[in-house]
Chains A and B, each alone.
Chain A
Amino acid sequence: MQDLMLILPPLIVFLGATALLLVDLKIADDRKETVAWIAMFLLVGALIAAVMLLYFNRTGDVLYGFSNMILTDRYAALLDIVFALIGIGVFLLTLRYNRVHQIMRGEFFVLTLFSIGGMMLMAHAANLVTIFVALEMFSIPLYVLCGVARPRLDSEESSLKYFLLGAFASGFLVYGIALMYGATGTLDIATMLKQVERGQAPLLLVIGAGLMLVGLGFKVAAVPFHMWTPDVYDGAPTTVTAFMTTATKAAGFAALVRVFLLGPGAFVGSLVSAIAILAALTMIFGNLFALAQRSVKRMLAYSSIAHAGYLLAGIASVANIGQSANAVIFYLATYAATSLAAFGVLSEIGSMNRDEDHGLERYTGLAKRNPALAWVMALALFSLMGMPLTAGFTGKYLLFQSAVSSGLNWLALLGVITSVISAFYYLRVIVHMFMKEDATVAANNEQYYVSKPSLVMMTLASVAVVALGLLPTLLLNMFA
């Protein structure tokens, strides 16, 4: 019984999603919004369960369950909360976007719920078996979700590309786990950690963890394993992209934190240097490629690669592991809020043109046509840039601080320089929105309005961005 309590949030999501799959059959096609509301209700339940886990375990002990396959600690509960909130935010966006693009289907919500359940399970993983199963549990529904706008070719294409590269990545992950098992004779992360701490890091373990890093690098879109990211994020429906940039990233980093930061990886010097190099490459190339983009959706895809780079810098900072893990989880929360605000705007714009064109010209003069959308977008872009007083600044500050305290001054410096470079492409969008006139505005007499659920979501996300920027201690106190 106590075991079940430990994984209550993912349990609610999985059981609820299975039941919803049946309920969905009884709901007529033109009333699928009901399914969305039930799904949100389930996520609120999971959210409450996660808050309870946090509340009843105030000392922050690591509680194990299911023969040490599952654990619950502060990070797990906080990540559960983040995943549940992301899910609610995305579902609020789907109410308009999915209706307009005719993908308002029951399975959309069920698949998203299954994916969220897998991500929550990832946050609770204490064993490499759990890591692998959770990874596939959230990935396989995502392959389908990318292609949900079938027969639109770009959606199908994004789906197949994501699937082939995702399967390739899990091949590396599984082989890496096999070698780590071969080196240590166990799949339990804590036991492995003990062996490594005693100074036994055989070559086989290092190679295995390296292969695992490649597999997870694909999932979080780290350079040089990022090739799929722009195509997949660009081709998938915007609501799915919003989900992927925020939740998939958080789940991938949950695994990296468990295996590399809090696990055996942190004690192997060569792996830590490899992660630092990956972080540097990801920051540099993510930001440079983003400079060249004309489509705002594609630009945000590259920006999400760049942000994976900043997060990897946190994974590479192993001097004070607790501090780095706090910084990474905090950054994931701030990035989720920021990215959801930005994609809220994108999904509204995408709802107003059927062909889903996100070229810069669609955003030209947006401040005149719809000030609310323009201001939310501006706030999100400032936060992505890392402007002080926004969540993005606090997040980056904490990450770079832990990098400096681990002696990775060069990495922190590189992070600051690439953040400055990123200001170019973020500001370009802001300039287009606020300072340029839209010449075609008379020609296309579109009604720019924002739907109520999306407005609620964007308001909440914006409040979170500002609140985490001004009062980061609100969230940070939960770590201590």
Chain B
Amino acid sequence: MTSIEPVILLSAVLFTIGAVGVLTRRNALMIFMSVELMLNAANLAFVAFAQQWGNLDGQLFVFFVMAVAAAEVAVGLALIVAIFRTKHSTDVDELSQLRG
């Protein structure tokens, strides 16, 4: 059995890249992709920990995360399309109708 530490390290790096991406990107689609990266980093961690503990709880959780992420994609892309039709832009900095 291989050690899981490198895998956890990779997942932590992916999670950080995703979180930094959400905070620095200004395009709604790019933010959305960064969020997906965060979720998949968690999936990787789940699978690695399931290997470490020798039970399937973690692998099971991954299926729930994937199903929920798919539902989020459906709703999220619909929202982005709707706002693109009105504003002709997906730049979040232009969403300033409401004072922040």
CB of A185 within 8 A of CB of B53, answer yes
What chain A residues lie within 8 Å of B45 (beta carbons)?
175, 178-179, 182
Assess whether A19 is interfacial by the CB under 8 Å rule: no
Most buried by A among B11, B64, B80, B98: B98
Bound Cα distance A235, B99 (Å): 10
Within the complex, the shortest CB–CB distance from B10 to chain A, in Å, comes to 13
CB of A158 within 8 A of CB of B98, answer yes
CB of A177 within 8 A of CB of B42, answer yes
What chain B residues lie within 8 Å of A160 (beta carbons)?
28, 79-80, 83, 92, 95
CB of A167 within 8 A of CB of B32, answer yes
**What 1/0 flags go to B36-71 for Cβ under 8 Å of A?**
001101100110110011010110110011001001
CB of A171 within 8 A of CB of B42, answer yes
CB of B57 within 8 A of CB of A181, answer yes
Q: Contact partner of A132 among B48, B52, B64, CB < 8 A?
A: B64
Assess whether A24 is interfacial by the CB under 8 Å rule: no
Given contacts A171-B38, A187-B57, A181 and B49 within 8 Å (CB-CB): yes
Q: State which residues 124-155 of A face B: CB under 8 Å.
A: 128-129, 132-133, 136, 140, 143-144, 147, 150-151, 153-154
CB of A151 within 8 A of CB of B98, answer no
What chain B residues lie within 8 Å of A159 (beta carbons)?
79, 82-83
Q: Contact partner of B68 among A136, A161, A178, A181, CB < 8 A?
A: A136
Assess whether A55 is interfacial by the CB under 8 Å rule: no
Size category of the A interface is: 35 or more
Bound Cα distance A172, B58 (Å): 16
Bound Cα distance A178, B40 (Å): 11
CB of A231 within 8 A of CB of B28, answer no
Bound Cα distance A235, B60 (Å): 38
Bound Cα distance A231, B100 (Å): 6
Assess whether A174 is interfacial by the CB under 8 Å rule: yes
CB of A171 within 8 A of CB of B32, answer no
Within the complex, the shortest CB–CB distance from A217 to chain B, in Å, comes to 15
Bound Cα distance A140, B75 (Å): 7
CB of A153 within 8 A of CB of B87, answer yes
Residue of A nearest to B96 (CB): A157
Bound Cα distance A405, B38 (Å): 40
Residue of A nearest to B53 (CB): A185
Bound Cα distance A186, B95 (Å): 42
Bound Cα distance A154, B100 (Å): 12
What chain B residues lie within 8 Å of A177 (beta carbons)?
42, 61
**What 1/0 flags go to A62-94 for Cβ under 8 Å of B?**
000000000000000000000000000000000
**What 1/0 flags go to A224-241 for Cβ under 8 Å of B?**
000100110011000000
Bound Cα distance A172, B80 (Å): 22
**What 1/0 flags go to A281-305 for Cβ under 8 Å of B?**
0000000000000000000000000
CB of B95 within 8 A of CB of A157, answer yes
Bound Cα distance A132, B66 (Å): 12
Residue of A nearest to B52 (CB): A182
CB of B97 within 8 A of CB of A178, answer no
Assess whether A156 is interfacial by the CB under 8 Å rule: yes
Given contacts A182-B52, A235-B98, A156 and B86 within 8 Å (CB-CB): yes
Bound Cα distance A244, B99 (Å): 20
Given contacts A151-B86, A185-B55, A163 and B75 within 8 Å (CB-CB): yes
Most buried by A among B8, B41, B68: B68
Assess whether A4 is interfacial by the CB under 8 Å rule: no
Please give 4 more A-B residue pairs, beta carbons under 8 A apart, in addition to A129-B64, A140-B72, A178-B45: A156-B82, A172-B19, A179-B45, A181-B58
Q: List 25 A-B contacts (CB under 8 A).
A: A129-B60, A129-B61, A132-B64, A136-B68, A140-B72, A143-B76, A143-B79, A151-B86, A157-B97, A157-B98, A160-B28, A163-B79, A164-B76, A171-B19, A171-B35, A172-B38, A174-B65, A175-B15, A177-B42, A178-B11, A178-B46, A181-B58, A182-B49, A185-B49, A186-B57
